[in-house]
Amino acid sequence: MLHTIIKANSYQDSIVLMLLTNKLNTIDGVHNVSVMMGTPANKDIFKTGGLYTDELEKASSNDMVIVLDIEDDSLIDQVLTEIDVFLEEQTKGGGDTTGEEVVKTWDKAFELGKDAGVVVFSIPGTHAALEIEKALDEGKHVFCFSDNVAIEDEKRLKEKAHDAGLLLMGPDCGTGIINGIPVAFTNAVRKGKIGVVGASGTGIQEVTTIIHKLGGGVTNAIGTGGRDLKAEIGGITLKDSIMTLEKDPNTEVVVVISKPPAPEVRDEVLNLLRSISKPAVTIFLGEKPTSHEENLYRAYTLEEAAQTAIQLLNKEAVTAVKETLSVPAHSFKPEQKYVKGLYSGGTLAYEAAMLIKEGLALTGDDHAPEGFILKNQGHEIIDLGDDVYTQGKPHPMIDPSKRKEMLEEAGKDPETAIILLDVVLGYGSHANMAQELAPTIKEIKANAKAEGRELFVISTIVGTDEDPQNIHEQETIMKEAGVILCDSNAQAVRLALAILDHPLTQTDKAIEATPAVNPVTIEPTEAMLALLTNQGFINVGLRSFSEAIINHGGKVVQYDWQPVAGGNITLQKALQFLNKVALAK
Amino acid sequence: MAYKTIDEANQAVAAKIVAGSPFLLDVVPAKSVIPELNEGKVLLHAGPPITYDKMVDPIQGACVGAALFEEWCETEEEARKMLESGEVKLIPCHHVNAVGPMGGITSANMAVLVVENKTDGNRAFCTMNEGIGAVLRFGAYSDEVITRLRWMRDTLAPVLSAALKTKEDGLNINVLVAKAIAMGDEFHQRNIAASLAFLKEMAPIIVGLTEIDQTKREEVVQFLADTDQFFLNIMMASAKAVMDGARQIQEGTIVTAMCRNGYEFGIRIAGMGDEWFTGPVNTPQGLYFSGFSEADAAPDMGDSAITETFGVGGMAMIAAPAVTRFVGSGGFYDALNTSNEMTEICIDTNPNFPVPTWDFKGICLGIDARKVVETGILPVINTGIANKKAGLGQIGAGTVTPPIDCFEKAVLAYAKKLGFTE
């Protein structure tokens, strides 16, 4: 049944009316509708569209005409309301006004990003080396999230960056804070006078979030990429970063985070740290230091590194922080003997394995099979971020599915006593990981209980109250699911060990004299110092990285990178040829 | 003239686009300026070369309309038989210095605009805009359509011709374009400001043409006042004249023509002269009149993409806030992003036509086929959408892009011409 509504003297341009027509067509019960001005030409269109009525003749060119094909007359009022709402919305404007410019070529990226000090890469690793070089040639620091870059390329590019007075953070650098701006998978940490350099993403996250929780702050946490301290690279980025923080007037304490470096690199780094004037804390994860040096403190856990940095910042004596673990009462079945660690953060898994080995005095082969950080008797620590588990899947910080599956397995295993977890918040991570894991945790605890087993799930939340996720909500969800939450990963593991009656004790370390130092000239370039106060970024690849930068007052040029000519090699060669060919004979 | 590099050649082509100076001189029967139309039964069509059997229904319909208009036959059946038999020679408009909107079907006795590029002395031709609704360019061929074409031939053309001849050099088009771009036209989707500016120039002269019957003068002024898109065809002829002047330089990778025939999209680049590089056309995305959807849309057609080649139309989307909602999710910022993106495939901006809504940046200048291939960014073309069935006319408007194949083929062919071996 056709209905004609004429709104006299109500002019709207045809585009608005087409959009309105589209909207009205979505109303349930509307078979067809058309809204147009009553011009002679439009009346013809009503005809061809099968919506002609005699009343149309009355409409003039200045009248808005609505022809409705409906069964139910009561819809007319709803349609009229929808029209009014729509036309009012139209006048409000809006849309995207962030002014973040999106570009698709280097020319444009460099033109718009001429003030940007840092280029962030998250593109396929096979293309990264070539593109990093372009950024370095343009005098930009590089933060390279991409991995799968050949180590030869890393060495060459890091040397190139060093010679140009620039820092190449990465490849495979997942975390960094530049001038208080989180880059890639990073937490929102308040600014402050502790400067961090790290060859470990989750290591930086754990240390910086604990510093934040203890009231301190980090303005710069420079990631180097995991291979920087290997002998092939020689710690190029790490050393340049330490020198830069040494000369930075806003840094008072320097923290260096890494897995054990190659011996010769380690010596160079320690020598450099002994040469600088600022107090420094090192954590070479996996090494158990037995003493400190003057102004150079050696931590065993990530938590200790953070605590020591805070003590130094507050000009307090460096001592082991005393804690009282509240060990819950428990009664395990005889076969319940083992800890299963299901981690999304690689460094946290590594730290857990280290502490468990020590606490349980585990001996045997240090080489865990593929997919395990530790597999000893029934004790298993797994880094779900390992390539073994992420083939064709997102990282476990984003995608909980694999972890849920393994939680179920660990829960069913009658030998499991304790499950260790981490929930890593921050930019890039899942918006509500606790909510994803909670139902599975409840289920496995309930099933174990039904079988007369008590199952402990202990977790830490790596995050701050400024993160995009709501940390308090995450804590509540985890607690409600029956998880015991600890302040740090190290504490979570210590609690697990205490429950298994193998408590770890922390002791104070003596401070020894500094050994002889080979004098080093410490002269970071202006560009390196400028990095610490950099505001501008060119983000090449994942758009989500732009969000964190903008939220923290940074400026971004988003470069939606694609391989030249869609990756077609022949066309790439043809373009190279045309760009260089001389026309004049 | 020898250029050292492709960049240099491209800059020279772009400089000629900037220097282009189109003037509308006259409106005349097509056969008087296009000799090919006097050689038996000939029709011009839009896009790269095509045979009748490959033409989509609306373009075949327009051919029928033209045959009836030319009185080659009495009925549609006869017309179709004649066309199917190959008795009618089909020539691309572009091959005879012309351009045609949508189907682009142009015959000997249709009136065409004559635009001269004063810089190089070359001319370009285009039929006049018929208005909206059932029109030949969208494949309609009813009596109403033929009657209008005859009125355009017998009344509109002579009156405009007489009016233009009162101006010594003809009508300076760059001036109108510069004015209208500041009034929110982009010259492909929206031409109302330029059409009014044209009417403003013509009306006083037409009123004074006392040797012409008053009824005719009234009809013409009324038609110009009613036809919001009248200037589109003037823009097309002007862009064609300027681009043809620029492509006298036969070096480099600047795109010198883009056009579609409903079957293939074709481009030319400066360094490859007259050669067409083609790929299958896309179907436009856009907004539809009620009762129609993408399912009813004919594939992309028309020479009107010469406007984008010149730097207006979709390339200057931001100039026309009123029509920006045809793009993407449809807001001002989408249009801004679109126009900003277009600068990535162009070598410069044209200082003759500053766009107020773009902070007075000039329109895009010189689409570089290399950049299109490198980035995968395709020129955005604003377009009308025809019903895929002949005779039903326009059903919407929106945007469309060329297939990337055209640009890839052109770049590869030019590289090989210069000695590149795979």
* Chain A residues closer than 8 Å to B2 by CB: 583-585
Mark out the alpha helices in A451-470 (DSSP H runs). none
Q: Which of A21, A87, A577 to mutate to test the interface with B (most CBs of B within 10 A)?
A: A577
Please enumerate in sequence order all residues whose Cβ is within 8 A of that of B337, keeping only pairs 6 or more positions apart, or say none. A102, B328
A99-172+534-584 and A338-500 share one CATH topology?
A: yes
Cβ atoms within 10 Å of A249's Cβ, excluding its own: 8
Give residue A96's pLDDT band: very low, low, confident or very high (50, 70, 90): very low
Contact A251, A194 (CB under 8 A): yes
Give residue A395's pLDDT band: very low, low, confident or very high (50, 70, 90): confident
Evaluate if residue A367 carries a pLDDT over 90.
Answer: no
> What are B96's two structure tokens?
């005879």
Contact B152, B128 (CB under 8 A): yes
Cβ–Cβ of A562/B375 closer than 8 Å?
yes
Fold (topology level) of B6-233:
Enterococcus faecalis V583 fold (3.90.1710)
Min Cα distance B4 → chain A (Å) is 5
Cβ–Cβ of A34/B290 closer than 8 Å?
yes
Cβ–Cβ of A562/B420 closer than 8 Å?
no
Cβ–Cβ of A44/B133 closer than 8 Å?
yes
Cβ atoms within 10 Å of A398's Cβ, excluding its own: 16
Lowest pLDDT segment from A294-308, A345-359, A504-518, B408-422: A504-518
Cβ–Cβ of A13/B322 closer than 8 Å?
yes
At which residue do the structure tokens 């037995």 appear?
A: A290
Report the C-alpha gap between B153 and B165 in whole angstroms. 17
Average pLDDT score over residue span A347-376 = 91
3 state SS of B362: strand
- What are the respective helix, strand and coil percentages of chain B, to the nearest 5? 45, 20, 30
> What are A407's two structure tokens?
């939680």
Phi/psi for A568 (5° steps) reads: -75, 115
- Considering chain A, what percentage of its residues have pLDDT values greater than 90? 69
Contact A338, A417 (CB under 8 A): yes
Please give the single-letter amino acid code of residue B413. Answer: A
Fold (topology level) of A174-322+510-526:
Rossmann fold (3.40.50)
Q: Which of A21, A22, A108 sits opposite B344 (nearest CB)?
A: A108
Separation in Å, CA B18 to CA A48, B21, B245: 44, 8, 11
- Return the residue of B nearest to A98 by Cα: B333
H/E stretch holding B68: helix B57-69
DSSP E strands, A329-414:
338-343, 374-376, 379-383
Report the C-alpha gap between A173 and B28 in whole angstroms. 69
Q: What is the pLDDT of residue A192?
A: 98
What tens digit of pLDDT does each residue of A147-205 get? Answer: 889 999 999 999 999 999 999 999 999 999 999 999 999 999 999 999 999 999 999 99
What tens digit of pLDDT does each residue of A218-227 get? Answer: 999 999 999 9
Task: Judge if pTM exceeds 0.95.
Answer: no
The CATH code of domain B250-418 reads 3.90.1700.10
Nearest to A202 by CA among A337, A80, A348, A331: A348
| Residue ranges for chain B with pLDDT beneath 70 | 1, 326-330
Q: What is the pLDDT of residue A585?
A: 59
Evaluate if residue A11 carries a pLDDT over 80.
Answer: no
Fold (topology level) of A2-93:
Alpha-Beta Plaits (3.30.70)
> What are B95's two structure tokens?
């091959």
* A64-70 and A101-103 strand pairing: unpaired
> What are B257's two structure tokens?
């023509």
CATH 3.40.50.620 fits A99-172+534-584, yes or no: no
Spans of all domains in chain A: 2-93, 99-172+534-584, 174-322+510-526, 338-500
Spans of all domains in chain B: 6-233, 250-418
CATH 3.30.450.20 fits A338-500, yes or no: no
Evaluate if residue A232 carries a pLDDT over 50.
Answer: yes
Give residue A344's pLDDT band: very low, low, confident or very high (50, 70, 90): very high
Evaluate if residue A350 carries a pLDDT over 60.
Answer: yes
H/E stretch holding B274: none
Cβ–Cβ of B418/A108 closer than 8 Å?
no
Evaluate if residue A62 carries a pLDDT over 80.
Answer: no
